[in-house]
Amino acid sequence: MAMLTAKLTSPAAATTWLPGGGRRSAPPRRATVIRAAAVSYADELVSTAKSVASPGRGILAIDESNATCGKRLASIGLDNTEVNRQAYRQLLLTTAGLGEYISGAILFEETLYQSTTDGKKFVDCLKDQNIMPGIKVDKGLVPLPGSNNESWCQGLDGLASRCAEYYKQGARFAKWRTVVSIPCGPSALAVKEAAWGLARYAAIAQDNGLVPIVEPEILLDGDHAIERTLEVAEKVWSEVFFYLAQNNVLFEGILLKPSMVTPGAEHKQKATPEAIAKHTLTMLRRRVPPAVPGIMFLSGGQSEVEATLNLNAMNQEPNPWHVSFSYARALQNSVLKTWQGRPENVEAAQKALLVRAKANSLAQLGRYTGEGESDEAKKGMFQKGYTY
């Protein structure tokens, strides 16, 4: 990000004492304040964010690490090899018609540089369908010293050079995920660390042409009520936007990936889509400036149908932002189970992906009914202490 310096006059002028007791006032001391100038990528960042936040479309998140992708493959009896990971992601990224419902795809670094078995770059497969390629840039969660058994996200070291390389490869937005745990407090230290890390990442990403997705995931773990989730979410997002502003992040050139405001997964009383929508939109309206183009919700272990119903409930009236989805498991679960690693099932698996993508497209437009959904799509996917 280009910088400029502004000279501000100190209120008190320096004084020089002369022989015999006289004195002479020196010129006022000046403090140098660094302020961000216009972002060189500003217009492109705004254009990219608007493209991702376009009506009836959302994000396909396939940025699982190799280890987590291996867990997904193991669930259908496949070994965790690069060939199998490539085959699965090729299935997803070459689905004809996907661009009607999907505006962006978050990739893992391996996938960003891969091609199809026919030699076509995955990045080009996406661009041909007007889908923006994105890239996961964080380096994962590690224990946060001094906290209540909480985590912080690493990856700021070398981030600028990595973002520059990802941009050259065709990525146009980035994702950084950190987490906040309600059962762990959360501690003030963990919340501040999450917010500051997200803000530094966002500024670095924008400086290198990538729209940052800002994602402080408030984990579903716990037996707390929905009101407690709302309280924590408001605190977290308040800190996030405070530090985004301090880091001179261009709000029109970011996207958010929040958790929906729900009760803890172990709470005895489930919330309706209408209650989740009410609490989530309350939080967003209190904390998120209308300058932000898009709110791309994570599914966080909800079932495919739950995630879609909740999104639909939030789009029953106009919002200041594009309210949409950035789902991983809630778009892929049925796909994996249909594919089973068999070439003859690829076409059926791609149809399953389109079914889920279209359902969420309708939810973004507020037109999803939930009719005809399978029992499999209604199964919850919450995993306590989930990592990826």
- Annotated domain spans of the chain: 41-368
pLDDT digits (tens, 9 = 90+) for 317-347: 999 999 999 999 899 999 999 999 999 999 9
Within 10 A of 41 (CB to CB), how many other CB atoms are there? 22
Helix (H/G/I), strand (E/B), else coil: 160: helix
What is the reported pLDDT for 231?
A: 97
Establish whether 257 is a catalytic residue.
yes
What pLDDT does 40 receive? 85
Residues whose CB is less than 8 angstroms from the CB of residue 328 and which lie 6 or more positions away in sequence, other chains included: 61, 62, 63, 64, 298, 299
280 pLDDT more than 70: yes
**Which of the following is catalytic: 109, 215, 217, 373?**
215
Q: What is the pLDDT of residue 8?
A: 38
Q: What percent of the chain has pLDDT over 70?
A: 86
Q: How would CATH label the architecture of 41-368?
A: Alpha-Beta Barrel (3.20)
Q: Would you place residue 274 in the very low, low, confident or very high pLDDT band (cuts 50, 70, 90)?
A: very high
What six digits make up the tokens of 8? 């501000």
Four-residue CA torsion sign, 369, 373, 379, 380: negative
Residue of 257, 304, 306, 373 marked active site? 257
How confident is the model at residue 125, as a pLDDT? 98
Burial class (CB within 10 angstroms; exposed 0-12, middle 13-18, buried 19+) of 66: middle
Could you tell me the end-to-end alpha-carbon distance of the chain, in angstroms, rounded to an integer? 31
- Which of 175, 185, 181 is CA-nearest to residue 151? 181
User: Does pLDDT of 26 surpass 60?
Assistant: no
What is the torsional sign of CA 307, 312, 318, 322?
A: positive
Cβ atoms 222, 177 nearer than 8 A: no
| Residue 6 in this model has a pLDDT that exceeds 50 | no
Helix, strand, coil shares of the chain, percent, nearest 5, are 45, 20, 35
User: What span, in angstroms and rounded, lies between the C-alpha atoms of 375 and 6?
Assistant: 62
Q: How does DSSP classify residue 29? A: E
Q: How confident is the model at residue 303 (pLDDT cuts 50, 70, 90)?
A: confident
Maximum Cα–Cα distance across the chain: 99
Q: Is the peptide bond before 212 cis (omega within 30 degrees of 0)?
A: no
Give the DSSP per-residue string, 135-201: EE----EEE-TTSSS-EEE---TTHHHHHHHHHHHT--EEEEEEEE-STT---HHHHHHHHHHHHHH
Residue recorded with tokens 């670095």: 204
Report in angstroms the alpha-carbon separations of 332 from 61, 184, 335, 381.
9, 30, 5, 11
Q: Rounded distance, CA 247 to CA 257, Å?
A: 19
User: Where does the pLDDT of residue 1 fall: very low under 50, low under 70, confident under 90, or very high at 90 and above?
Assistant: very low
Mean pLDDT, residues 141-162: 96
Q: What is the pLDDT of residue 74?
A: 94
Each residue of 32-65: pLDDT tens digit?
444 343 358 999 999 999 999 999 999 999 999 9
Encoded tokens for 172: 């146009």
State residue 300's pLDDT score. 78
Rg value, the chain, Cα:
23
pLDDT band at 256 (very low <50, low <70, confident <90, very high): very high
Q: pLDDT tens digit string along 173-226?
A: 999 999 999 999 999 999 999 999 999 999 999 999 999 999 999 998 899 999
To 5 degrees, how large is the angle CA 212–CA 218–CA 219? 125
Residue 7: predicted pLDDT: 37
Average pLDDT (15-32) is 50
Q: Is 215 a catalytic residue?
A: yes
The per-residue pLDDT for 3 is: 43
Confidence of residue 376 (pLDDT cuts 50, 70, 90): low
Structure tokens at 41: 């990528």
- Specify the pLDDT at position 11: 39
- CA angle in degrees (0–180, nearest 5) for 230-232-235: 110
